[in-house]
Structure 1
Amino acid sequence: MNSLSHLNHAGEANMVDVSDKSMTLRQARAEAFVVLSEQTLALIMQGKHPKGDVFAVARIAGIQAAKKTSDLIPLCHPLMLSKVEVTITALNEPSRIHIETLCRLTGQTGVEMEALTAASVAALTLYDMCKAVQKDMVIESIRLVEKRGGKSGDYQVGTND
C-alpha cells in the first residue's frame, strides 16, 4: 500500500471517499469465544439462567451492533446491510461459547468491521448476562474469519496467512 487511505493531504484523519468504487457483493465472517465454567454453561443450556435466554439476547445485541458500527468506529461508513447473522454455539471441551457472525451487502466498501463488531458485542452481552453468576469469564480470539469481494480480494483464515 503506497499511502494511508484514512489520511487527507494534510495528514489529518478523514473518511475514505468510496464514491468511485464499484457496487459489488461483499461479505465478511468473524468469530469470538467466551470461556466460562461448566456450571455457567449448564445454567444457560438448561434454560435455568436467572436472566433468561442468554443466547437470544446476545444474538440480538450482535445484530444491532453490526447495524450501528459506523456510530461506534470512527471513520467507518454507514452501510445498508442486507444480511446480518449471529450464530452462537455451546462447546463442552473446553467449556466455552463460540460466536460466529456473517455480514453481507452489495456496496462500495467492505463489511469486516460490522462482522467484527457484531462478534465483539455479542460476546460482551454474554459476559454481561452471566457476570452475576461468574465474573472470571474470558472473551478471546475475536478475529476476521473470511472476507469476500472488493478490490483487495478474498481472505480466509488459514489460506492467506
Structure 2
Amino acid sequence: MAGALTHLDADGAAHMVDVGDKAVTRREGVATGRIVMSAAAVAAIRAGAVKKGDVIAVARVAGIMAAKRTSDLIPLCHPLPLTKVSLDLAIEDDGVTATALAATDGKTGVEMEALTAVSVALLTVYDMAKAIDKAMRIEGIRLLEKRGGRSGDWRA
C-alpha cells in the first residue's frame, strides 16, 4: 500500500525490511544541505586560516566515511556495498553548501547514505569553525534525487 511505513510490522514493531526478492539494480541518491555562518568564519575557511586545519578537505573525508557507516548509525538501514560516494563542498558568501552523491549496485536505495554524508560533512564544518562562530546554523538537509529501484526515479 502506498505511503505505508515499511519498517513497521502488523503489530507496529520496528523491523528491517526484507529486500531479498528485489532485483539488483544501479541506485543513486543525491542530497544537499548548508551551514550558514558569519563572514569571519567564511573568510577563515576560504583563507585556510582555521586552526584545526583544512575545513573543506576534512569535511569531505568525514562525509564520505560517514556514508560508508550509515547502517551503523541508522538502526534499520541495510549495510550496502557502495560503489561511489562523492561530496562537493562549495564555499559561499554566507556559508558552505554540501552536496553528496552515493551509488551502489544493490537491492535497496542509497538515499540515507547521501543524507548521512551531507549531515556529517556539515557537522564537521561546524566542529572545525566553532571557535570563530558558535552561532552557525545547519539547515536545509534534504534529498534532491533518487535513481533506480522498484519505485523508480524521483527528483525534488
Q: Paired residue for 1:54? A: 55
Q: What per-residue deviation string (whole Å, max 9, x for no partner) do you get for residues 80-137 of structure 1?
A: 0000011100112xx1111000000000000000000110010001001111111000
Q: Paired residue for 1:100? A: 99
What does residue range 47-86 of structure 1 map to in structure 2 within 5 Å? Answer: 47-86=48-87
What CA distance in whole angstroms lies between the structure 1 residues aligned with 2:105 and 2:15?
23
Normalised by the length of structure 1, the TM-score is: 0.93
Paired AA for residue 116 in structure 1: L
Q: Paired residue for 1:142? A: 141
What CA distance in whole angstroms lies between the structure 2 residues aligned with 1:54 and 1:141?
20
What CA distance in whole angstroms lies between the structure 1 residues aligned with 2:8 and 2:140?
29
Unaligned runs of 5+ in 1: none
What does residue range 20-59 of structure 1 map to in structure 2 within 5 Å? Answer: 20-59=21-60
Q: Paired residue for 1:153? A: 152
The structure 1 segments of at least 4 consecutive aligned residues displaced by more than 4 Å after TM superposition are none
Give secondary structure in 2 for the equivalent of 1:17: coil
Normalised by the length of structure 2, the TM-score is: 0.96
Give yes or no for contact 2:40–2:132 (8 Å, CA) kept in 1: no
Cα distance, 1:52 vs structure 2 = 1.1
Paired AA for residue 6 in structure 2: S
Cα distance, 1:152 vs structure 2 = 1.1
Corresponding residue pairs, total: 155
Please, what is the CA RMSD of the aligned residues?
1.0
Q: Paired residue for 2:6? A: 5
What CA distance in whole angstroms lies between the structure 1 residues aligned with 2:102 and 2:121?
14
